[in-house]
Structure formats: C-alpha cells, structure tokens
C-alpha cells in the first residue's frame, strides 16, 4: 500500500477510478467515399443483369480480357511535318490510308480542291499521298502551299464516265484488351483480443469495417491510375515464373483523349467545360448525358458558378447511387460529382474525368468476386483468427473518343 504525504494530486489517484470515455462509437478520421468505384460498379451491375449474370460486376472468363471496337473511316487528316510547297505532287499526311484513287481532297486553309493520283495513299511514298491538280493530268501539283497541321477533308470518289469501278476498301474491327488483376489482404487478431470486453462495437468489427473501406479506396485509385501490366514475378521456388497482372486505369485508356487545362485563364467556366467535352458528343453513338468525376480544383470552380448553370438543385439528383449536379453546356448535359480521392494531398487535384456511362464498366474473373472471408483459422495457429479480403477486378473502357480526361487544372 502506497502512502501519500501532503495534498492529493491527480497523479496520485488510482487510475482505475478515473472516468473512461465510454462512447459507443469511435471517431473515424477518414471518409468511406469512393465515387468512381461506386459509379462503375453500378454500371457494371446493369450490364451483368443484361447478360443474365447475377451480382454487381460483369464476370469474364480470362485474366486477359479482350473486346472489340469498330470505327468509321475518318473524313479528315492533317498535313504532317514539313508541309507541301506550291506545285507539290506529294503531300505528307498523318494518315494516308483514308485516301484512294480519284478521291477529292479539300484543304480548308487554302480553299483548294485536288484529286488523289494513286490507288491507295502511301503507295508511291510512305506516309504521303500522291495528288494532282483537279482539272489537269497526272504530274501537275497543288496550286497553294500547305503547312504542317492543315486539315485535309476526304470528299469521296469522283467517277469518270465509263471508268471501271474503283477497288474495294473497308475498315477492320480493332482488338483491344485489358487485364483482370487479383489482390489479397489479411487481417489477424488473437483469441484473447476477440473475447476481451469492449465498449461499443468490438475492435474486430471496427477493424473489419476499416479493412473494407481501405480496400475500396485503393480500388478507386487503381481504376484511375492502374497501368496495364502482365509480369513474370521475381519470386523463387514454387512461385517462380508466376503471373502478376495489373488492371488498366483511366489515365492509360485516355492517353490520346486528354485535355491540358493548365492554360485555362479564369479557371473552369461552363463554356470552357462545354468546349472540352464537345468532342465526346461528336459521334452518334455517344450518350446524351455524360458523367463527370470532378477533382478538387474543378469542383471548386463548378461550385462557384451561378445557379443558372445547374438545372437540378445541388444534392437532389440521385443516379448510379451517387448525388450529382447536372450542368447544361452548349453541347450537352453533364452530371457532375466530386471524387474525394482527386485532391491536392494526393497530387491529383487538377485531374477530372468525363465519361460516357454506356461504354465503361468493371469486370471480374468468374467465380472470384471481391469478398471478405471471415474466421480463416489455421489449425496450426489456434490462437490466431484471420480475415482475408480477396478478389479480382478490371476496368473496361470502350471507344475512348467518347470520354475525356482533364488534367493540370489550376487551383
């Protein structure tokens, strides 16, 4: 027994007599929001049901998932590096294959129209089209010089009376692919920890909740940032030569469909957003209403817009399980939500995505959904209780022309 001389201080008290914080719920620092994962999972569920599958994710049969896309032959291309001088009979172009014998070619920059003078562009000189002055014989070139970047429009074939019909040509379907990736994470606790009394939910319950949130948060990031990879693992022994897959994310899908917003003056305006999104509506297969997962900088700008830009009151529109604002641009409508993961302390505040909900969805390998397996007790470890999150996921984005990345938008 300890004897205390003089006045009693708080440090002298038996600590078991002090009041303990007995709140039933613990204060959680982090949020459980993962907008993009939720959105694409809801879309995937509709597609899965349309294919007679149960669950919320489309099931596929191989880790390398292939899909096909078809495009119309382009109407335009641009003059390539070096341009073409006046009287030139050969013009360097970015895509020579869209031009064929007797096609009429129009150059908006000069107002001149001329004709193809070879069966298929790129035959005489690789990467160039052989042309002639429209009303002259072979060997006469264009009248006006063309600069690199000038647009050339294909107006189709002009047929001479009695001339044989031109050779056939068509487009092929394109094969695309992505990988389904497998992932695991383990949580462990002891039998004593399990049976100790706790205030409110047990520590194991809280750990399981946190466990799930953290995995979904990682997955949300992977759907944006994943880089398609199939590697041979460096492990030795039984795992030597095993395959590790990484899914393809939005950034990699939209490499050529990204808009550099670093030069926008005055931030993101409704007119600027409409202009950025306009190319995604240039095709008749596009969905009328796009969905935008906005980063911090874009959301800050949008939140400062006047009510006239918002058709539906903020917070009242529920779609795909997410609350959106609907914006009316000069070219189409966009439902916008803020993804809390696209923020400054993640280095992603200037990033946003405009997606076409008809052409994006998550996939999983059949029989291996994302799930938490509880109480996986190893007989050799009778005092340890183990939970495992395991599963497979991938992202399919079709027709990148219908989607758009916005990057480096200033704060």
pLDDT in tens, 185-194: 888 888 887 7
Q: Name the maximum alpha-carbon separation found in the chain.
A: 122
202/47: higher pLDDT: 47
pLDDT tops 90 at residue 60: yes
What pLDDT was estimated at residue 20? 58
Interior angle at CA 198, CA 192 and CA 200, nearest 5: 145
**d(C-alpha 372, C-alpha 5), whole Å:** 57
Assess whether 237 and 118 both reside in one domain.
Answer: no
pLDDT tops 70 at residue 12: no
What pLDDT was estimated at residue 28? 66
The CATH number given to whatever domain includes residue 345 is 3.90.1690
**Average pLDDT for residues 267-276, to the nearest whole number?**
92
Using DSSP bridges, classify how beta strands 76-78 and 404-407 pair: parallel, antiparallel or unpaired.
Answer: unpaired
Assess whether 63 and 108 both reside in one domain.
Answer: no
What pLDDT was estimated at residue 385? 82
- The answer to whether residue 13 sits within a structural domain is no
Which range, of 13-22, 79-88, 298-307, averages the lowest pLDDT? Answer: 13-22
**d(C-alpha 227, C-alpha 254), whole Å:** 12
What pLDDT was estimated at residue 125? 95
Assess whether 46 and 82 both reside in one domain.
Answer: no
pLDDT tops 60 at residue 235: no
**d(C-alpha 81, C-alpha 384), whole Å:** 67
Interior angle at CA 398, CA 392 and CA 401, nearest 5: 140
Assess whether 52 and 113 both reside in one domain.
Answer: no
pLDDT band for position 21 (50/70/90)? low
Q: Of all residues in the chain, what percent carry a pLDDT higher than 90?
A: 56
Q: What is the pTM of this model?
A: 0.84
- In the chain, the number of structural domains is 2
Assess whether 242 and 121 both reside in one domain.
Answer: no
What pLDDT was estimated at residue 32? 65
169/145: higher pLDDT: 145
Given 132, 157, 182, the domain boundary residue is 157
Using DSSP bridges, classify how beta strands 322-328 and 243-246 pair: parallel, antiparallel or unpaired.
Answer: unpaired
Assess whether 67 and 109 both reside in one domain.
Answer: no
353 three-state secondary structure:
strand
Element (H, E) at 129: strand 128-133
Assess whether 271 and 357 both reside in one domain.
Answer: yes
The residue count for the chain: 411
Per-residue pLDDT tens digits for 390-409:
999 999 999 999 999 999 99
Q: 207 with 187: CB under 8 angstroms? A: yes
**d(C-alpha 351, C-alpha 292), whole Å:** 11
Per-residue pLDDT tens digits for 339-373:
999 999 999 999 999 999 999 999 999 999 999 88
Given 157, 188, 219, the domain boundary residue is 157
pLDDT tops 90 at residue 124: yes
Per-residue pLDDT tens digits for 27-51:
666 666 789 998 999 888 888 888 8
What pLDDT was estimated at residue 233? 66
What pLDDT was estimated at residue 231? 83
- The answer to whether residue 141 sits within a structural domain is yes
What pLDDT was estimated at residue 27? 65
Give me the chain's average pLDDT, please: 87
Assess whether 371 and 296 both reside in one domain.
Answer: yes
The CATH number given to whatever domain includes residue 139 is 2.40.30
What pLDDT was estimated at residue 24? 62
**d(C-alpha 248, C-alpha 245), whole Å:** 10
pLDDT band for position 180 (50/70/90)? very high
Q: HSE of 186 in the Cβ direction (CA atoms, 13 Å)?
A: 7
Given 105, 127, 157, the domain boundary residue is 157
Assess whether 108 and 177 both reside in one domain.
Answer: no
What pLDDT was estimated at residue 55? 79
- The answer to whether residue 10 sits within a structural domain is no
Assess whether 67 and 117 both reside in one domain.
Answer: no
Assess whether 59 and 80 both reside in one domain.
Answer: no
- The answer to whether residue 22 sits within a structural domain is no
**Average pLDDT for residues 366-395, to the nearest whole number?**
86
- The answer to whether residue 20 sits within a structural domain is no
Assess whether 80 and 68 both reside in one domain.
Answer: no
- The answer to whether residue 327 sits within a structural domain is yes
Q: HSE of 295 in the Cβ direction (CA atoms, 13 Å)?
A: 24
State phi, psi for 354 to the nearest 5 degrees.
-110, 120
- The answer to whether residue 324 sits within a structural domain is yes
> Which tokens in the block code for residue 35?
């907008």
**d(C-alpha 199, C-alpha 178), whole Å:** 47
**Average pLDDT for residues 61-66, to the nearest whole number?**
94
Question: Can you give the residue range of the structural domain that contains 100?
Answer: 76-157
Q: 179 with 230: CB under 8 angstroms? A: yes
């Amino acid at each position: 027994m300890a004897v205390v001389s003089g006045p009693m201080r708080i440090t002298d008290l038996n600590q078991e007599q002090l009041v303990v914080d007995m709140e039933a719920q613990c204060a959680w620092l982090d949020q459980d929001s993962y907008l993009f994962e939720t959105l694409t999972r809801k879309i995937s569920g509709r597609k899965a049901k349309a294919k007679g599958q149960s669950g919320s994710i489309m099931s596929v049969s191989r880790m390398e998932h292939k899909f096909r896309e078809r495009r119309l032959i382009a109407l335009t291309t641009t003059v390539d590096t070096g341009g073409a001088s006046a009287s030139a009979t050969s013009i360097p172009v970015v895509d020579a294959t869209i031009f064929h014998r007797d096609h009429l070619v129009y150059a908006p920059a000069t107002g001149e129209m001329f004709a193809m003078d070879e069966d298929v562009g790129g035959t005489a000189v690789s990467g160039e089209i052989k042309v002639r002055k429209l009303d002259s014989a072979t060997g006469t070139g264009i009248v006006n010089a063309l600069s690199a970047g000038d647009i050339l429009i294909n107006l189709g074939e002009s047929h001479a009376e009695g001339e044989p019909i031109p050779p056939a040509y068509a487009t092929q379907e394109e094969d695309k692919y992505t990988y389904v990736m497998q992932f695991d994470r383990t949580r462990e606790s002891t039998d004593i920890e399990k049976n100790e009394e706790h205030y409110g939910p047990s520590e194991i319950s809280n750990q399981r909740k946190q466990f799930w949130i953290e995995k979904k948060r990682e997955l949300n990031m992977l759907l944006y940032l994943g880089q398609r990879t199939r590697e041979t693992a460096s492990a030795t022994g039984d795992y030597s030569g095993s395959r590790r897959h990484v899914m393809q994310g939005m950034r990699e899908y939209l490499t050529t469909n990204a808009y550099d917003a670093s030069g926008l003056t005055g931030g993101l305006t409704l007119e600027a957003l409409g202009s950025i999104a306009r190319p995604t509506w240039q095709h008749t297969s596009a969905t009328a209403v796009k969905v935008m997962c906005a980063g911090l900088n874009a959301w800050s700008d949008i939140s400062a817009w006047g009510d006239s830009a918002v058709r539906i009151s903020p917070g009242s529109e529920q779609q795909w399980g997410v609350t959106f604002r609907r914006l009316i641009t000069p070219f189409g409508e966009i439902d916008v939500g803020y993804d809390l993961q696209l923020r400054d302390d993640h280095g992603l505040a200037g990033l946003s995505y405009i997606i076409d909900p008809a052409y994006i969805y998550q996939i999983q390998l059949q029989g291996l959904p994302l799930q938490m397996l509880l109480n996986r007790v190893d007989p050799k470890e009778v005092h340890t209780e183990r939970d495992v999150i395991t599963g497979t996921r991938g992202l399919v984005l079709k027709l990148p022309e219908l989607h758009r990345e916005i990057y480096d938008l200033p704060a």
